[in-house]
Amino acid sequence: MNDDNLHDPQRRMVLGGMAGGVAAAGFAGAAQAQTPEEAAAGTPLAEMRDPQTAYPQPPFEEQRQEWPGLASEMTPVPDHGEESYRGSGRLAGRRALITGGDSGIGRAAAIAYAREGADVAINYLPEEEQDAKQVVALIEEAGRTAVAIPGDITDPAFCRELVERAVEELGGLDILVNNAGFQQSAASIEDISDENFDATMKTNIYAPFWITKAALPHMEAGASIIITASVVAEDPPENLFDYSQTKAANVIFAKALAKQLGSRGIRVNAVAPGPFWTPLQVVGGQPTEAIPEFGSDTVFGRPGQPVEIAPLYVLAASAESRYSTGQVFEATGG
């Protein structure tokens, strides 16, 4: 898809209309010379607010769910942009596959992509159907095609089937977001079972390898591959020995693959979150007693909400960042 002419106001209006009512209203407003204040009032995420107090701060209620957990059962429920993300046609007509698209960071990316005009396939585990159904409804409300493909990505055969189904039902693939992840806190290397170590490696390193390898034959110049790494790749906490190694591997995935795929015009970037309020953390990702103070050690003193990192996934996928590859885009709270 060529969007070189996005600066053309007429074309932007058309694309805005394609992206659904909300985006269309945004574009219409822009064409009628809205004041910046009027534009901001309709875009809650972009309102000028103090980042320290813009979202819930510690202490949080101590909570624990069975893995893989549901966003809808967290207190407070995370903000994935359901009410606050406003699109502007930046991914008009693109086709995206997002793993872990049911909850947390992947869900925020899915909502943002749909509101930016993309059709979106999400992968998740069957136990997460309840969260996934909400995401499907939100993508459809944005006027886009939603494809739900539950299944376990620690199985290489399923990873290949996942890509085939996404390509078939979306009619192609322009954006791949390797975002699903597994994280279990353990005080010592001696407390990590072989099974848990294996699950962490398979989910965080093998699955992106299997999925990306299967997806590449379907991707053309201009396509974008994104992997969710983490701030722990640079500064590993002592309780995340195995997980931190996988996130460092995710950074190298982006940097090394970017070199291989440059000559095909395919970009590969990583997004590195700091602490975000998602199910991953309350299913054993942190010790349960650490949840009340989760995110308090950042500059802003609170965890990020998934919607606050969605713009980086949009930027990495959009042609606006076409000179960026092998990069790590961070949202760490400082």
Which chain residues interact with Mg ion by CB under 5 A?
A: 102-103, 128
154 binds ligand NAD (CB under 6 A): yes
Q: In 3D, which of 228, 127, 241, 105 has the Cα closest to residue 184? A: 241
Which residue, judged by CB position, is nearest to ligand NAD in the bound state?
104
Taking the C-alpha atoms of residue 314 and residue 317, their distance in angstroms, rounded to an integer, is 5
> Which residue in the set 125, 249, 252, 319 belongs to the binding site for ligand NAD (CB under 6 A)?
125
Nearest CB to ligand NAD, comparing residues 74 and 167: 74
278 binds ligand NAD (CB under 6 A): yes
Task: Report the partner that residue 275 touches, choosing among ligand NAD, Mg ion, none (CB closer than 5 to 8 A by kind).
Answer: ligand NAD
Nearest CB to ligand NAD, comparing residues 279 and 311: 279
Q: Is there a cis peptide before residue 51, judged by omega within 30 degrees of 0?
A: no
Q: In 3D, which of 247, 211, 215, 214 has the Cα closest to residue 229? A: 247
Annotated catalytic, 243? yes
Q: How many residues bind ligand NAD (CB under 6 A)?
A: 30
> Which residue in the set 224, 245, 281, 325 belongs to the binding site for ligand NAD (CB under 6 A)?
281
* Per-residue x/- track, 55-74, ligand NAD (CB under 6 A): -------------xx-----
153 binds ligand NAD (CB under 6 A): yes
Taking the C-alpha atoms of residue 331 and residue 298, their distance in angstroms, rounded to an integer, is 11
Taking the C-alpha atoms of residue 316 and residue 327, their distance in angstroms, rounded to an integer, is 9
Question: Residue 4: which residues within 8 A CB-CB, separation 6 or more?
Answer: none
Does residue 316 contact residue 113 with C-beta atoms inside 8 Å? Answer: no
Torsion of CA 83, 42, 91, 163, to 10 degrees: 0
182 three-state secondary structure = coil
280 binds ligand NAD (CB under 6 A): yes
Taking the C-alpha atoms of residue 98 and residue 317, their distance in angstroms, rounded to an integer, is 12
Which helix or strand (DSSP H or E) is residue 228 part of?
A: strand 224-228
Nearest CB to ligand NAD, comparing residues 87 and 306: 306
Please tell me which residue in 85, 243, 313, 323 is annotated as part of the active site: 243
From 17-25, 33-41, 113-121, 148-156, span contacting ligand NAD (CB under 6 A): 148-156
Catalytic machinery residues: 243
- List interacting residues with ligand NAD (CB under 6 A): 68-69, 100, 102-106, 123-125, 128, 152-154, 179-183, 203, 228, 230, 273, 275-276, 278-281
